[in-house]
């Protein structure tokens, strides 16, 4: 019984950590967009919904959606916004999922 | 979101505005100098006024949040400053029958430039990591290239104007060239993006302003400048370019917050 609980506990803990990192990614995106301006934030939300039928929280799994929306708005200069998001996540960049997120959003 | 059709129509409306303004001034000029003076003074109420209204709408829409919010407040200050300058010019000329250059209007024109510069710097601030030294040098070279002919005409001409008027007149193209630098950078940075139209029109607006200020200085030095002179068409066009740029930017960032009132939608 104890033998079975330990792996379940680890898995649950890992899930919590993934959710926490996901929340941090969302916060990094939101903070960066709000630093640019409130209408930018709302326009990105709107375009994500309209073009990809998704929300900011979905950008954790699909960073390319955010990248596309930023490209539509700011052209190649989206890279500066992406770079700001990366800076907020720098301390977590050793985590595999965050590293994947950073690679995908920069493409 | 703005559709492609709306974009084309907006440009048609821009073209119509430019042509109709030019034709109106030329007709007033054809009727007579007095008509041109009165008509041109009054047309400087609605056109800079439209730019001011749009700037206030944009500033209100952005609020104080973020760099772009602060940028649009600075732009509203610039628009208000130039609008006041135009009205001071009108009052000086039509009501006090004084020569409007130099006058109190110049104070408001000149203080508008730092406000515009602050707008451009704040707007570009989130993208500063992409602003390379090479890009700054390129933009500065464009500004210097635009400034040289203006300075040449100013320094080569001899005139009865007093020293202060000559220096003041020459200061405008210099200020225009300084604000041209962030406009060139903005145009280059946002190439291909939706905000590029704003920066394209800002750039064209400033270029037209440089030509207008140079023309104003040139014709002032031989005493042939007056309100209603064809050079004034360029000043009006500059306001029109700015106004259409702001209008486009308002349309690009038109999403309403109330579409996300339902918290479940954000999950």
Model confidence, pTM: 0.88
pLDDT in tens, A50-71: 999 999 989 999 999 999 999 9
Cβ atoms of B4 and B49 within 8 Å: the answer is no
Task: Give dist(CA A89, CA A101) in Å, integer.
Answer: 10
Query: Chain B within 8 Å of A73 (Cβ-Cβ)?
Result: yes
A2 CB-near residues (< 8 Å, 6+ apart) = none
Alpha carbon distance B232, B100 (integer Å) = 14
List CB contacts of A46: < 8 A, sequence separation 6 or more. B1, B255, B259
Contact A80 B130 (CB under 8 A): yes
Report the percent of chain A where pLDDT is more than 90: 59
- Nearest chain A Cα to B256, which residue? A42
Q: Which residues of chain B, if any, have pLDDT below 50?
A: 1, 257-261
B192 vs A contacts (CB less than 8 Å): 71, 75-76
Instruction: Say which of B61, B192, B266 has its CB closest to residue A39.
Output: B61
Q: Which residues of B touch A49 (CB under 8 A)?
A: 259
Question: Which is nearest to B171 in space by CA: B224, B109, B119?
Answer: B109
Q: Give DSSP secondary structure letters for B39-52.
A: HHHHHTTHHHHHHH
Distance (Å, whole) CA A60 – CA A105: 10
Q: Residue B144: how many CA atoms within 13 Å on its side-chain side? A: 6
Q: What is the pLDDT of residue B191?
A: 87
- Are the C-beta atoms of residues B74 and B123 closer than 8 Å to each other? no
Nearest to A46 among B63, B255, B267 (CB): B255
Q: What is the pLDDT of residue A37?
A: 92
Pull the structure tokens for residue B213.
């200020």
Closest CA to A23 of A54, A59, A48: A59
- Partner residue facing A45 (CB), from B127, B193, B260: B260
Mean pLDDT calculated for residue range A30-47:
93
Residue B257's pLDDT is: 45
User: CB-based contacts of B249: which residues, under 8 Å, 6+ apart?
Assistant: B58, B195, B197, B198
Inter-axis angle of helices A96-106 and A63-74, to 10 degrees?
Answer: 30
CB contact under 8 Å between B68 and A43, yes or no, is: no
Which chain B residue's Cα is nearest to A34? B66
Chain-chain contact of B252 with A73 (C-beta, under 8 angstroms)? yes
Nearest one of B210, B169, B194 to B245, comparing CA atoms: B194
- Least Cα separation, residue A4 to chain B (angstroms): 33
CB-closest option in A45, A49, A75 to B190: A75
Q: Does A26 touch chain B (CB under 8 A)?
A: no
Sign of CA dihedral B71, A41, B63, B67: negative
The minimum CA-CA distance between B175 and chain A, rounded to whole Å, is 27
Match 């990614």 to its residue by tokens: A25
A46 and B61: CB-CB below 8 Å?
no
Burial A25-46 (b: 16+ CB within 10 A, else e): bbebbeebbebbbbbbbbbbbb
Disruptive mutation site among B60, B63, B119, B126 for chain A (greatest number of A CBs within 10 Å) = B126
The sign of the torsion formed by the CA atoms of B237, B243, B246, B248 equals: negative
Nearest residue in A to B258, CA atom: A42
User: Of A25 and B256, which is predicted with more confidence?
Assistant: A25
Q: Do A84 and B267 touch (CB under 8 A)?
A: no
Instruction: Compare all CA atoms of chain A with the CA of B196 and give the residue at the minimum distance.
Output: A74
Residue A29 sits at the chain B interface (C-beta within 8 Å): no
Distances in whole angstroms, Cα of residue B43 to Cα of each of B21, B99, B150, B236, B240: 9, 18, 27, 9, 12
Cβ contact B253–A36 (<8 Å)? no
The average pLDDT across A23-48 equals 93
A43:B195 CB<8 A: no
The CATH fold of domain A2-106: 1.10.1200
pLDDT digits (tens, 9 = 90+) for B17-74: 999 999 999 999 999 999 999 999 999 999 999 999 999 999 999 998 899 999 999 9
């Amino acid at each position: 019984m104890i033998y079975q609980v330990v792996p379940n506990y680890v898995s649950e803990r890992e899930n919590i950590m993934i959710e926490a990192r996901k929340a941090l990614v969302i916060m990094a995106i939101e903070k960066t967009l709000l630093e640019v301006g409130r209408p930018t934030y709302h326009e990105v939300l709107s375009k994500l919904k309209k073009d990809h039928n998704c929300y900011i929280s979905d950008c954790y799994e699909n960073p390319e959606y955010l990248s596309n929306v930023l490209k539509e708005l700011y052209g190649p200069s989206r890279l500066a916004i992406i770079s700001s998001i990366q800076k907020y996540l720098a301390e977590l960049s050793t985590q595999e999922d965050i590293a994947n997120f950073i690679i995908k959003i920069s493409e | 979101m703005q559709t492609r059709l709306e974009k084309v129509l907006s440009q048609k409306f821009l073209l119509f505005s430019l042509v109709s303004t030019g034709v109106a001034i030329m007709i007033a000029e054809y009727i007579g100098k007095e008509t041109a003076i009165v008509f041109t003074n009054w047309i400087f109420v609605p056109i800079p006024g439209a730019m001011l209204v749009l700037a206030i709408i944009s500033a209100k829409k952005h609020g104080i949040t973020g760099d772009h919010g602060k940028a649009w407040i600075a732009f509203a200050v610039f628009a208000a400053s130039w609008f006041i300058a135009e009205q001071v010019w009108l009052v000086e000329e039509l009501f006090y029958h004084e020569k409007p250059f130099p006058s109190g209007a110049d104070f408001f024109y000149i203080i508008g430039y730092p406000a515009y510069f602050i707008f451009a710097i704040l707007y570009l601030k989130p993208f500063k990591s992409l602003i390379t030294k090479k890009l700054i040098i390129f933009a500065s070279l464009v500004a210097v290239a635009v400034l040289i002919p203006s300075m040449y005409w100013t320094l080569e001409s001899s005139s009865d104007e007093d020293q202060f008027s000559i220096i003041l007149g020459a200061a405008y193209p210099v200020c225009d060239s300084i604000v041209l630098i962030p406009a060139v950078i903005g145009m280059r940075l946002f190439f291909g993006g939706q905000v590029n139209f704003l920066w394209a029109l800002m750039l064209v607006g400033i270029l037209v302003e440089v030509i207008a200020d140079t023309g104003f200085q040139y014709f002032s030095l031989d005493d042939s400048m007056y309100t209603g002179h064809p050079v004034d068409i360029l000043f009006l066009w500059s306001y029109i370019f700015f106004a259409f740029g702001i209008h486009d930017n308002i349309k690009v960032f038109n999403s309403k917050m109330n579409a996300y009132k339902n918290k479940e939608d954000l999950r």
